[in-house]
Amino acid sequence: MSLPRVLLTTPYGPFDKLRGESPHDLFASRLTRGHGAFSMSSHFHEFGLHMIAENLSGPVTVLEEPTREQFEEELDAGYDVVGIHLKSLHTERVLEMSRLIRARRPTARIVLGGYGVGALDDPVPDDRGTATALKELADALCREEGVSFMRRFLGDPQEGAPVTQFLLPWAGFTVRGFLRRYMHVPALLAGLGCPTGCTFCNTSAQFGGKKLRVAEPEELFAFLKAHRERMNADLFLSMIFDEDLFLDPAYPRRLGALIRADPSMWGAKWFGFASVRSLSKIDPEEVRESGCGAIWLGIESFEAPAGSGEGADSAKRRGDAEAVVKGLHEAGVLTVCSLPFGYDFQTDAGIVAEIDRFVKLRTPFYQVAPLQPCPGTELFRRLKDAGRLDPELGWKDFHLWRMGAASHPNLKPERAAELFELAHRRLAEENGPPFLGMLEIFLNARERLATRSDAFGRRQFKHYGTLASLNRNLLPAVRRHAASEAVREQADALANRFDRLVGKPGIFDRVARALGLWNMTRAVGRGNDETPAYQPPLRRTAYEGSAGDRKAFVRKGALAAAPVAADRRRFGVVG
């Protein structure tokens, strides 16, 4: 039996920037927003498409960031099935793509997947028939875990087989002052959905408030180890996607035990997601000992009053958020904290007070934005039933920076925009760029581990010294170009603390600091990228081979001469 040829693709570009940044760049647009040349930049792959491709039996091509012309050219190669990853922001673009498929490949079956699929059943007010037209064109809508769905849809002989994550591409993080110097970060999936069911949460709504376990700790550890071997790295960071990995504390405990039992993995640090509620039940030292180097923590609101109607949103943050964050930082765990504003109970003064408390958390990374109603969620339905959604709210407004998506009893859209800018200005002027917070937290870990005599503890002590040194080398640049005198004073204090805990710089460190200052000064002089659109180079990945012997071949850039095996690609440039 011949297996169908499958094309899995992202929407074609280019994509407009929003409020001066590309919404596809998580770090520049959100997590380090407002630091200019000291902001970080990131590149993420459409990991779900690659995970599906790795786990099918037939030939699969994954196309990322094509132009329209490149997408049309790929269609002409002749595919039996075309799957498109749908984000709500791109709904109109995906409709255009579906019409192109019908015109150029009328016999091809169209499959739509991703969190945007759930929004098609309850579209935005200014939908203009887009959702209905898209559903009519699609042969199938994936509303579940994608590998199982596609195996069943294609009649794949691997249906029911274990799901692997050995070939997934790596994300890339960099500092704007160091162009094309990317840190590579593997990304893995542990689970989907969340039983907490926050009213605004699209991911929880997609899976009906239930959690689906995708990989057990032993499987995840095997994937992590394989990626470490591909990277040939002693010290590395990975991302583990799961809405709240610590909701079942046995999972990270088991993962941590596996890491500690294997000396080759003692340099593994992973980033995950959690809640104030789940972390309130675990000692921060245990979080770090599990291998967790960074955690995303939804603050949501510090002071939601009892009976405010926010339901599960309140349940997730039960506990003392400030104490949890402080404990993590003291133990040496980095944080990404998020603060939506615009709950009905909030007043202007209340939001300003929330921002003040949020800034004082001193989280190195953050996400602050107006609360956005997402189609398919309880919040969207409630606002729609109350007639509060902006009648001009369309698919292209589907992002974190849309002010006034719904009417608010105490907050006008123009004031929401002012509060958005206020929060980011204060984060920059009072806390400084992320390297200051990172250095402080790494030094905390170094200090905590100084008395450890066991082999694992001594290795961690060494690793945190290395991580601290990398951030220490940027302090001269931070000091020269500081956003405020307060930031300059913090840089000086951290430099003194580093010298006390780690030691005076050697020749290598002095050269690295000079180069860092030179690079960052050049970046400050260049200013921000003012191009109006985002269009990264095309990345085409061909998956071939049978189960147990699957291979991926990558061709990056329209002018690339030939595909390269994924495990043989040049290290050092994001891909």
The 10s digit of each residue's pLDDT in 202-249 is: 888 888 889 999 999 999 999 999 999 999 989 999 999 999 999 999
Could you give the CA distance from residue 368 to residue 264 in angstroms, rounded to a whole number? 38
Could you give the CA distance from residue 254 to residue 240 in angstroms, rounded to a whole number? 14
pLDDT for position 571 = 46
Residue 244 or 509, more confident: 244
Total Cβ atoms within 10 A of residue 429: 16
- In CATH terms, are 6-163+537-568 and 182-431 the same topology? no
CA atoms within 13 A on the CB side of 233: 21
Quickly list DSSP for 295-306: EEEE---S-PPT
pLDDT for position 372 = 93
Average pLDDT over residues 473-490: 94
Query: Taking 60 as the threshold, does the pLDDT of residue 97 lie above it?
Result: yes
* CA proximity to 520, closest of 474, 486, 487: 474
Q: Which fold has domain 6-163+537-568?
A: Rossmann fold (3.40.50)
The CATH class, in words, for 182-431 is alpha beta
Average pLDDT over residues 282-293: 98
This prediction has a pTM of: 0.93
pLDDT for position 574 = 35
Query: Taking 80 as the threshold, does the pLDDT of residue 312 lie above it?
Result: no
Average pLDDT over residues 85-102: 97
Query: Taking 70 as the threshold, does the pLDDT of residue 309 lie above it?
Result: no
Average pLDDT over residues 346-372: 97
How many helices (H) and strands (E) are present in the chain, helices listed first? 21, 20
One-letter amino acid at 539 equals: R
The first and second tokens of residue 298, run together, are: 């939804």
**If pLDDT is split at 50, 70 and 90, which confidence band does 531 have?**
low
pLDDT for position 529 = 60
Average pLDDT in the chain: 91
Domain boundaries, the chain: 6-163+537-568, 182-431, 437-526
Average pLDDT over residues 152-156: 95
**If pLDDT is split at 50, 70 and 90, which confidence band does 536 have?**
confident
Q: Give the least confident one: 19-23, 94-98, 437-441.
A: 19-23
Greatest C-alpha distance within the chain: 70
Could you give the CA distance from residue 527 to residue 525 in angstroms, rounded to a whole number? 6
Q: Give Cβ neighbours of residue 414 (< 8 Å, ≥ 6 apart).
A: 403
pLDDT for position 160 = 84
pLDDT for position 573 = 37
pLDDT for position 561 = 57
> What is the percent of the chain where pLDDT is above 90?
76
* CA proximity to 413, closest of 429, 424, 397, 427: 397
Query: Taking 90 as the threshold, does the pLDDT of residue 64 lie above it?
Result: yes
Average pLDDT over residues 283-309: 87
321-357 per-position pLDDT tens digit: 999 999 999 999 999 999 999 999 999 999 999 999 9
Which alpha helices (H) appear in 372-484, and where do they start and end?
378-385, 413-426, 434-449, 455-472, 475-480
**If pLDDT is split at 50, 70 and 90, which confidence band does 18 have?**
confident
Could you give the CA distance from residue 284 to residue 178 in angstroms, rounded to a whole number? 33
Distance, C-alpha 392 to centroid of its chain: 29
**If pLDDT is split at 50, 70 and 90, which confidence band does 400 have?**
confident
Could you give the CA distance from residue 329 to residue 441 in angstroms, rounded to a whole number? 5
Q: Give Cβ neighbours of residue 262 (< 8 Å, ≥ 6 apart).
A: 225
pLDDT for position 523 = 76
pLDDT for position 560 = 58
Buried b (16+ CB within 10 A) or exposed e, 208-217: ebebeebbeb
